[in-house]
Structure 1
């Protein structure tokens, strides 16, 4: 039995820690200490972002490792969408700090492969494999993209509660391409020893189900669970996602520490499910 110190929640491209707001209550009700971070460059910390020359995978890995150090032991990383690449690289860097990775409609890619390469290889067989890409609006220098609200509602949030979907679409921020076109370098000895769970979303219009299943085949060994929902299960079906994640972690012998003894990793609000 592995007792994890908590969960670290990592958002995908164009998002922030707010992307996990609806999921905090159901996961904390199941006894987990959960903390969502804002990745560098997403606008949540202007002073921090102003000091960055560029955003890279290393930038993200350093930020996540800093948050992991605030837990008293190894924790479960829950990664949505493109954050899957970040979680994989963190597991490669510090496998002893990662009790498990949960990919939520995530990019669970093999070493050396970028998501665009996966899409290109599948495009002849998978209709609309490029997902959100055709809808992106780019800066003049091509280094930053943003997602128009109507595209976000159609591609990301089509099955979410309408008011929550509109709020989420309004909170999306510009994304530096250096932090979106990510390629991990992984090994069996480090990343490969970390237990993995893959939650596939059958109605996903961004990371389409055939692409999710290609990644599962390319990186075998994850426990796969299925939700009939779109790209954002933590907003569309937060209770169902919390249930299957906790049940699957328990099957893997991973449980949470007693919250009464756990140290808050951010503020007391991280314990009760309210946004940080």
Structure 2
């Protein structure tokens, strides 16, 4: 039986980053599964002339809506970290265009909640939930923040090869806060009908596992895979990440076990931390 071609995937970066973070994942998705991937650069992240004051979640959603249109009107979304809020908002705006969503250590938040709200809820029991926030350097007008290189190395890229971690930390750009401190308004009828996979990063220091698991509880229904990596598995262990993404991105939507039946044991990436991916069924 010939398998239908997978929908293209739009890859959405997190705060302070850019489309470059997906460079090692894109060829793996293409060569292994024939998945066409497009890594977006969100407006105002340094690749265009959008002013920080003009950045908004609506602007991000409209930008990705344009990418969806260029791809023929239907794609999967793969979102890292703060890009998860963007992916949720895109699915709410264009539910007929989004076939599935993957959150890679992503902010899968309920309607109306900002990540800062989640951190405030958890930091009493988990002080490290604050992540990089205390270390940010703010512009005078408070419209942008940046992550010092040593902080990026410690929180984002600590399990990446040393040279790769340094190169990534140096590429980080100032982040417009109006694109970071955002809340998506979501409904069960639109966002809620899209199949979701949550990829946990077990050694994450930026979005700690307690935060990731609390989001899964607040927004139930996603299948979950746990990887033994830090905050950026697409940089630290791209093959490991590809091996858990591909079954979900290429699965048939027929039948009740959309994602769970497709996920299979995978071999550990040579650049990953010790351990193996773990799977569990969706949380209803």
C-alpha distance after superposition, 1:4-38 (max 9, x if no partner) = 43010010101111011111121111211011011
TM-score (normalizing by structure 2): 0.85
Q: CA deviation at 1:74?
A: 1.4
Partner of 2:116: 116
Alignment map for 1:247-258 (pairs within 5 Å): 247-251=247-251, 253=253
Higher relative contact order (Cα pairs below 8 Å, separated by 6+ residues): 1
Partner of 1:37: 40
Partner of 2:204: 204
Q: CA deviation at 1:110?
A: 0.1
Contact 2:146-2:174 within 8 A present in 1 as well: yes
**Structure 1 CA distance for aligned equivalents of residues 143 and 191 of structure 2:** 30
CA separation of 1:127/1:53 partners in 2, compared to 1, >3 Å: closer, same or farther? closer
Partner of 2:261: none
C-alpha distance after superposition, 1:101-130 (max 9, x if no partner) = 000000000001000000000001113110
Q: What SS does the corresponding residue of 2:20 show, helix, strand or coil?
A: helix
Instruction: List alignment gaps of at least 5 residues for structure 2.
Output: 259-284
Contact 1:2-1:99 within 8 A present in 2 as well: no
Q: What SS does the corresponding residue of 1:168 show, helix, strand or coil?
A: helix
Q: CA deviation at 1:249?
A: 3.4
For the aligned residue pairs, the C-alpha RMSD in angstroms reads: 1.7
Q: Across the two proteins, how many residue pairs are aligned to each other?
A: 252
C-alpha distance after superposition, 1:155-205 (max 9, x if no partner) = 000001111111110000001110100100000000001110100000000
Q: What SS does the corresponding residue of 2:70 show, helix, strand or coil?
A: coil
Q: What SS does the corresponding residue of 1:76 show, helix, strand or coil?
A: strand
Partner of 1:97: 97
Q: CA deviation at 1:76?
A: 0.8
Q: What SS does the corresponding residue of 1:95 show, helix, strand or coil?
A: coil
Instruction: List alignment gaps of at least 5 residues for structure 1.
Output: 256-276
Say which is worse superposed, 133-142 or 234-243, in terms of deviation.
Answer: 133-142
Contact 1:85-1:108 within 8 A present in 2 as well: yes
Partner of 1:220: 220
Partner of 1:8: 10
